[in-house]
Structure 1
Amino acid sequence: MTRLFLTAALSCALALPALAAQPAEGEKLAQNQDYAFRLSDAITTLDPQKTGDSEGAEITRQLFEGLLNQDAAGAPVPGVATGFELSEDRRTYTFHLRPEARWSNGDPVTAADFVHAWRRLADPATGSEYAWFIELMHVENASAVVKGRKKPEELGVKAVDDHTLVVRLTVPTPYFPKLVTHGATFPVNRASLAAGGDDWTAAEKLVGNGAYVLKSHELGVQIGMEKNPRYWDAGHVVMSHVKALTVTDADAALSRYEAGELDRVPIPAGQYASLRQRFPDQAVSIPRSCTYAYLFNLGDKGPKALKDLRVRKALSYAMPRETVVRQILQDGQRPAYGWTPGTIEGFLAPEPDQAGWTPAERLDKARALLAEAGYGPGKPLKLTLTFNSDETHEKIALAAQQAYAQLGVELALDQVAWKIHADRLLAGDFQLARYGWCSDYDEASSFLDYFRATGLNYGRYANPEFDRLMEQSRTAPDPNRPYAAAERILAEDMPLIPIYHYAGAELIRDDIRGLPTAKAPNAWYAKDLYRIRK
């Protein structure tokens, strides 16, 4: 086996495990070290294997800790595990757990706690919404256990001793270390779970191993947490109290922010520009690892015109991306010229040629390509765009329709309910279709796997070289190289029209430090936060 370190700075992280939570030079800590954030809905469960939404994950991340955490850029860093070894065939991970890790009741955190949690995740009897995640991780026998064909004890995870956890995979999975930062993989205290029954996550009863303990939980009202004195790195945790307030309405959340009740809230749609003027040091637009696009149907049910690469390129070139992000959205979104966003940790997104052209140059090239393909006066290109009902989707569709009209393209708009739209995508019953994709994990394959011939791939795109590169990425020393090559193939084959990469506009108190704002959604940890004296 080869010893692997999680980041180039791992040795420093081990020496100063919570360095991010310490004030920078010249900063002084405020006396108040409380933090309050907004939840948009009630959190119905704090069980890490049953939490199925991103906001629930925000809470469980404070109460529990997995093998690895994420740094501000999304890269994996030590959590309960100090590091791992990877076998030569890249299918067996051996994690080394820190002996000082403790549960909030004083029990040691052991490898067996992780084994129990992972078996519990895969076990159909648990009824976890995230059972599919253990399959995504490619843990040996995961699919068979999830489907009830094998027992949970046959899952490819083993506690060699209290501080050594071995995980066997069915195939090499380069992004596996990133997957074990997910809440579904967090350990559970077996004695607490057995004794507590269905109510084991209740306030003052939940036994966690995170930096905070649960002090109160009023369903749909608030969740209160306090610093855990038994957390292995409690000496570096600065924020004393953390509170989550449920506020379903975005405008109401903004009002409570202005009243000083909340320290971070999303900005209601369309208000980013005005709030940035009012709060220049607090309004931020955070890139998200999501892409909004129009898919071409290249399958048997798709129109013949779209089989012509010249047509697909012309439609992509003529898409009015700048109009969409600057006039329609206005929340800091960025024009997209490729499928995979550059916000993915470790991935340098190649820039297609058209990204450097002016809108006028793109239109000229689009006209020339359509003419080459045989379309023009007397023979207009006629297509239908399908999209689900939403005011913003409609505005973007109208902008595309107007831009294409300049080329003599007649684009009919077909606005339908979400259920109908989803059914048509699944059946391949569309010509062009609105689509959005966000990464399930912080790695380029979360996007690129979509376009494998065997991927979700609603547009039925197929390119053997693309598939070969994605297969090669599983065993490549640096998978980002084949990922970049695969992204360049997509830019050339144009199976979609990338339109924009998402952004999240938020207000964050200007005395808060430690929140990752390079991209969103990115895991944040209250243990890394602190307030400075203003």
Structure 2
Amino acid sequence: MNISIKAALLGSAIALAGPAFADKMHPTTGEKLAEDQTFTYRVLDEHTSVDPQIVEDVSGSEIVRDLFEGLYNQDKDGNLVPGVATGYSTNDDKTVYTFTLRDNAKWSDGKPVTAQDFVYAWQRLADPATASEYQWYVEVMNLKNAGPVMAGEAPLSDLGVKAIDDHTLEVTLASSLPYFAKTTTHASTFPAPKWAIDEHGTDWIKPENIVVNGAYTLTEHVANERSVRERNPMYWDNENTIIDKTVALVINDENVALTRYQAGELDRTEIPAGQYPALEQSHPEEAVIFPRLCSYYYTINVSDSAPEFLKDVRVRQALSYAIDRDVITEKVLQAGEIPAYTFTPGATAGFEVPAVDYAGWSQDERNAKAVELMAEAGYGADNPIDLTLLYNTSEAHKKIALAVSQMWKQNLGVKVTLENQEWKTYLTTRGEQNYEVARAGWCGDYNEASTFLDLVQSGSGYNDAKYANEMVDSLLADAKTMDNPQPNYSKVEEIIAADMPIIPIYHYSEDYMLSPEIVGSWPVNNVEQNWYSKDLYKVAK
């Protein structure tokens, strides 16, 4: 593949810098390290972007966490650890946070990382002209004047963030937010190099143009094929970084990816649906499984453009009740997933899963109620519903969609057309409400229930159902300032279980085939799975 002269030179500089611990001992664990510190893993689809304020998917965010560093990172257990910030203080009512930035943080072009780089990035995120799919995150952070700035009704300078000096960042909130510090690990809050963006526009993220402040820089990107990042010698903690190169390979087929893993081409890949039990038996040191802060669900179009049958709450409830979640988790997936009847997973910090009514019924009772509701709505064998179920291309998504379509057909007489689309096309189709029912998944942006429930708030950028409920909006707004928001979260879960704009199906587990060389450094105890290549290492075989 062709690599630009600049990227090639930078790669040479990285190679000359050399792995600090290659073929030596790990300074903490005492393990002998592998000579080749390259980590290669599989992703399902091409990522949306590596621009911190534009990226909107999990695989893209994984890359961005290597290329850029925010105020805080997470350790292997999900705890906050310093990134560019070394610490912070607050005022008495915790509405003003003052972050102290390290003085040795640099961009890959040698410029210092300053508080103004964060101000620019956060204003850029809020700016309507940026058209970020994550613009709403500035409201999640509860930044002062976020709403008016996002709407273009106030200047960007009114946003509650300013640089006191190069190494002091002051953040002003609309009101106290107990989990504010946790929100700063999200990719959209990472700093951005204004000078590079001004010079190159949207091309600033190409390998030959990109300027980064993280532990790695982008040296190669071939769309829908591969992305390579290599150590950034300007990173403030480069001397303690062990992995030299991380390669993400786009492999759409889970079974092909498994074959390539078994051939030694990959260090990590997802386990195909239904194959975990056998692989755990045959490769117990490589088949790993652990909880994940993610929910798999179907979103239902309830916008003005939706078909009339989906605007009927009885139909939406019937579609949900008729899905046997135990079959999905125990027969189709078989990798420790948890059947879901609420949107928020039980793994969420400080969250108690409320006992919504239908969760306590047997599946026979749910099926009977579903048939009754469909009849009340005027649908059945003599007047069947025809609907299209959309999912992004994946063997696992297809298997789940096939199972669900059979349940709907057998229990309710619903005729289902399955439609799969490539990732970016699917995101556009779903985001523009050009669908009826669509597969969706959400992984927490931070470890607090609002990261899930904010998606059913009427103004959320990822409320693809276009669901609107004033009580839900009010409960979520009030929860932001409560010491114990659990009662509000429980009520929201009860409301959406009744209105059913989304159908929770299961809460994720993560199941990987992971090379024994990398297993010991993988953060299995971090339910958010915010991993950083700089914290990984490969042991000698």
TM-score surpassing 0.5?
A: yes
Match for residue 533 of structure 1? 540
Q: CA deviation at 1:280?
A: 2.6
Letter in 2 for 1:508: L
Specify which of 411, 414, 437 is matched with residue 412 of structure 1. Answer: 414
Letter in 1 for 2:162: K
Higher Rg of the two aligned structures = 1
Q: CA deviation at 1:262?
A: 1.6
C-alpha contact 1:296 1:495 (8 A) present in aligned 2: yes
C-alpha contact 1:73 1:345 (8 A) present in aligned 2: no
C-alpha contact 2:294 2:444 (8 A) present in aligned 1: no
CA distance in 2, matches of 1:426, 1:217: 28
Match for residue 228 of structure 1? 232
Matches within 5 A, 1:353-432: 359=362, 363=364, 386-388=387-389, 391=398, 392-399=400-407, 402=410, 404=411, 410-415=412-417
Match for residue 84 of structure 2? 80
CA 1:351/1:508 → structure 2, altered by over 3 Å: closer, same or farther?
A: farther
CA 1:353/1:284 → structure 2, altered by over 3 Å: closer, same or farther?
A: farther
Matches within 5 A, 1:234-273: 234-273=238-277
Match for residue 4 of structure 2? none
CA distance in 2, matches of 1:305, 1:526: 48
Which segments of 5 or more consecutive residues in structure 1 lack a partner in the other structure? 1-20, 405-409
CA distance in 2, matches of 1:486, 1:46: 34
SS at match of 1:325: helix
1:506 is aligned to 2:512 = yes
Match for residue 3 of structure 1? none
Give the share of equivalent positions with the same residue, in percent: 39
CA distance in 1, matches of 2:466, 2:50: 38
CA 1:482/1:73 → structure 2, altered by over 3 Å: closer, same or farther?
A: farther
Specify which of 462, 472, 489 is matched with residue 483 of structure 1. Answer: 489
CA 1:23/1:316 → structure 2, altered by over 3 Å: closer, same or farther?
A: farther
CA distance in 2, matches of 1:532, 1:267: 23
Match for residue 470 of structure 1? 476
Matches within 5 A, 1:96-107: 96-107=100-111
Q: CA deviation at 1:217?
A: 4.0
Q: CA deviation at 1:260?
A: 1.7
Q: Deviations over 1:113-165 (max 9, x none)?
A: 11122233334554545444435444334444444444433433210111111
Q: Deviations over 1:309-358 (max 9, x none)?
A: xx96x99777532222222333443212333112334434345687677x
Q: CA deviation at 1:245?
A: 3.1
Q: CA deviation at 1:63?
A: 1.6
Q: CA deviation at 1:523?
A: 1.8
Q: CA deviation at 1:112?
A: 1.0
Q: Deviations over 1:402-455 (max 9, x none)?
A: 4x5xxxxx55344475899x999999998xx67645246233113323455777
CA distance in 2, matches of 1:121, 1:167: 15
C-alpha contact 1:320 1:400 (8 A) present in aligned 2: no
Match for residue 22 of structure 2? none
Specify which of 107, 126, 138 is matched with residue 122 of structure 1. Answer: 126
CA distance in 2, matches of 1:39, 1:88: 45
C-alpha contact 2:297 2:502 (8 A) present in aligned 1: no
1:336 is aligned to 2:340 = yes
Match for residue 287 of structure 2? 283
Q: CA deviation at 1:106?
A: 3.6
1:212 is aligned to 2:213 = no
Q: CA deviation at 1:511?
A: 1.9
TM-score (structure 2 length as normaliser):
0.73
Match for residue 182 of structure 1? 186
Match for residue 35 of structure 1? 39
Comparing 195-204 with 520-529, greater Cα deviation is found at: 195-204
SS at match of 2:89: strand
CA 1:304/1:522 → structure 2, altered by over 3 Å: closer, same or farther?
A: closer
1:448 is aligned to 2:470 = no
Quote the RMSD (CA, aligned, Å).
Answer: 4.7
CA distance in 2, matches of 1:369, 1:467: 28
Letter in 2 for 1:529: L
C-alpha contact 2:299 2:501 (8 A) present in aligned 1: no
Q: CA deviation at 1:29?
A: 3.1
Q: Deviations over 1:27-76 (max 9, x none)?
A: 44333322112344556854333434433322221121011223345454
CA 1:480/1:73 → structure 2, altered by over 3 Å: closer, same or farther?
A: farther
Letter in 2 for 1:506: Y
CA 1:109/1:463 → structure 2, altered by over 3 Å: closer, same or farther?
A: closer
C-alpha contact 1:68 1:76 (8 A) present in aligned 2: yes
Comparing 178-187 with 201-210, greater Cα deviation is found at: 201-210
Match for residue 16 of structure 2? none
Comparing 48-57 with 159-168, greater Cα deviation is found at: 48-57
The count of residues paired between Structure 1 and Structure 2 equals 496
Specify which of 325, 330, 334 is matched with residue 326 of structure 1. Answer: 330
Match for residue 292 of structure 1? 297
SS at match of 2:116: helix
C-alpha contact 2:104 2:112 (8 A) present in aligned 1: yes
SS at match of 2:414: strand
CA distance in 1, matches of 2:73, 2:190: 11
CA distance in 1, matches of 2:309, 2:183: 36
CA 1:225/1:274 → structure 2, altered by over 3 Å: closer, same or farther?
A: same
CA distance in 1, matches of 2:49, 2:311: 50
SS at match of 1:531: coil
Q: Deviations over 1:204-263 (max 9, x none)?
A: 653322112334445554433333343223343222222233444444433332222221
